[in-house]
Structure 1
Amino acid sequence: MRYTFYKYQGTGNDFVMIDNRDLHFPKNDTNLIEKLCDRRFGIGADGLILLENDESTDFRMVYYNSDGNESSMCGNGGRCLVAFAKQLGIIEAETTFIATDGLHFATISNENIVSLQMKDVDEVQQNDTHVFLNTGSPHHVQLVEDLHIFDVRNEGSKIRYSDLYGKAGSNVNFVSQTDENKFRLRTYERGVEDETLSCGTGATAVAIAMRATGKTNSSVIELQVEGGNLEVSFTEKNGFFTHVFLKGPATFVFKGEISVE
């Protein structure tokens, strides 16, 4: 089979995009998805995203991790899908779409800066060593020293597979504070099973966790990830976070075709 695809990246978090409005893509073929995401034998990506029709919104987002399995919400993937929808002529400057965690609203500028509304967060679990919360995907957030030399892959893997989170596991974020409302983070992503250059739901989780634990009083948080910079804003009242937005660039890389036996 021959598939037309589009490659996008959001602060280094990269995705294979496929227009599946005609439902031609074999969605249950885990091996195919894994092969397309393979960086040596395929296109190479952290995940694959299908854009599909939806009766009540502009489009539907179906997201797969690079291991081929359908996964929970991906913030950077959602932002890139908005840019993809604009490229396809489905939307112009704003949109609503449906994803696995529900309805999302987003805006996109002429420079392809996408501001994506994330789910509300009403529970932040604070522990002695870490914070846990769900921003569309589950996230462990932990402050560390010397983040630039921290062993994210090995330490993240230990936590992801630990008894803390059981079989489902969790994404793991390691964080250092650089200013009153600025934080640097590195993320180990489940499904990718490695560090990625950026994680949108992770950046969102870090911003909310830092506000919840009193590390910042700001409602607009700047996040430095390995692949660039993101901004998270929200409204907080009595520990309940609403109007949560993830903002950053969504960049088209290239379009191509691939034949897969």
Structure 2
Amino acid sequence: MKLNFYKYEGAGNDFILLDNREQHFNPDQQPQMIKKLCDRHFGIGADGLMALQLKPGYHFEMLYYNANGSAGTMCGNGGRCITAFAKRLGIIQNETNFMAVDGPHYAKISENGDWVSLKMIDVDDIKMDGNAFVLNTGSPHYVVQRSQLRDLDVFRAGREIRYNEVYSSEGINVNFVEDMGDHYYVRTYERGVEDETFACGTGATAVAMAMARLKNKTGQTTITLRVTGGQLSVSFDYDGKKFTNVFLEGPASFVFEGSIDV
């Protein structure tokens, strides 16, 4: 069987996308296949795979799978990339309402189709684990500040937290952040990929919220974040208790399309 696919990336966070509107492919029954497709040595190579499917009342539904083949939680950069993909397929023009695992999402896309702003879920539950922030922005995140972040072994440091006795059963994404003055520098270890990724959208959102809470930055705010693969921005309203009108914004670029025997 030949599987047609598209490759997209958002600030270096890369994905395999499938047009599954006719549901020829059942990803829930293919974890090993997904793992192989995402493998950078034996497959196409990606941080995750997404299937675009029909959903009554919405332009489409986004199904996301981790690089290890498991069903994923919300992926912010994935949501931005699948929006660009939907525009390429002619499903939408410049705006969309789609369904994801954490509920409905609105997104808007630039005329040239490579810059996407995605509305994220509201957040009002932020816990502390020592000096780290723990919150869910569609996926669970751990946010901790580090100096000299460029020199950090993110794989080792992130893995220690992700697999410690508190988080090992469910897993957590681990974000290290350094305040650079006019922006935050972020590096993320992602569960499901089990390695550092070039960017993480829900992670960038979590970092922006954690830093706003740390500095008691209320009102309407836009925060710029530099990640390994480029730049993202997160805007929101914060009243000191709850984050609303949350938007993750950044690039979403088509890389190539092809077919592979599966």
Report if TM-score (shorter chain) is over 0.5.
yes
Matches within 5 A, 1:1-261: 1-27=1-27, 28-111=29-112, 112-180=114-182, 182-214=183-215, 219-260=221-262
Deviation at 1:216, TM superposition (A): 5.2
Runs (4+) off by over 4 Å: 215-218
Counterparts of 1:94 and 1:105 in 2: how far apart (Å)?
A: 7
Kindly indicate whether the alpha-carbon contact (under 8 Å) linking 2:216 and 2:240 is maintained by their aligned counterparts in 1. Answer: no
Letter in 1 for 2:209: I
Aligned pairs, number: 259
- TM-score (structure 2 length as normaliser): 0.97
Q: Distance in 1 between matches of 2:82 and 2:237?
A: 25
Q: By how many angstroms is 1:163 displaced? A: 1.7
CA drift of 1:79 comes to 0.2
TM-aligned CA deviation for residue 145 of structure 1: 1.0
In percent, how many aligned pairs have the same letter? 53
Task: Look up the SS of the partner of 1:17 in the other structure.
Answer: strand
SS at match of 2:57: coil
Question: SS in structure 2 opposite 1:219?
Answer: strand
Conserved? CA contact 1:234–1:241, under 8 Å? yes
In structure 1, give the amino acid aligned to 2:191: R
Per the alignment, in what secondary structure is the counterpart of residue 79 of structure 1? Answer: helix
Q: In structure 2, what residue type is equivalent to 1:26?
A: N
User: Which SS does the other structure have where 2:40 is aligned?
Assistant: coil
Distance across 1 between alignment mates of 2:197 and 2:217: 25
- 5+ unaligned residues in a row in structure 2: which ranges? none
Q: Structure 1: which 5+ runs fail to align? A: none
Match of 2:187, SS state, is strand
AA matched with 1:60: E
Whether the aligned pair in 2 keeps the contact of 1:235 and 1:244 (CA below 8 Å) is yes
Task: Give 1:222 deviation, angstroms.
Answer: 0.1
Other structure's SS at 1:231 match:
strand
Is the 2:134–2:143 contact (alpha carbons within 8 Å) kept by the matching residues of 1?
yes
CA distance in 1, matches of 2:124, 2:110: 30
Whether the 8 Å contact between 1:162 and 1:169 is mirrored in structure 2 is no
Distance 2:234 2:142 in 1: 17
Per-residue deviation, 1:124: 1.0
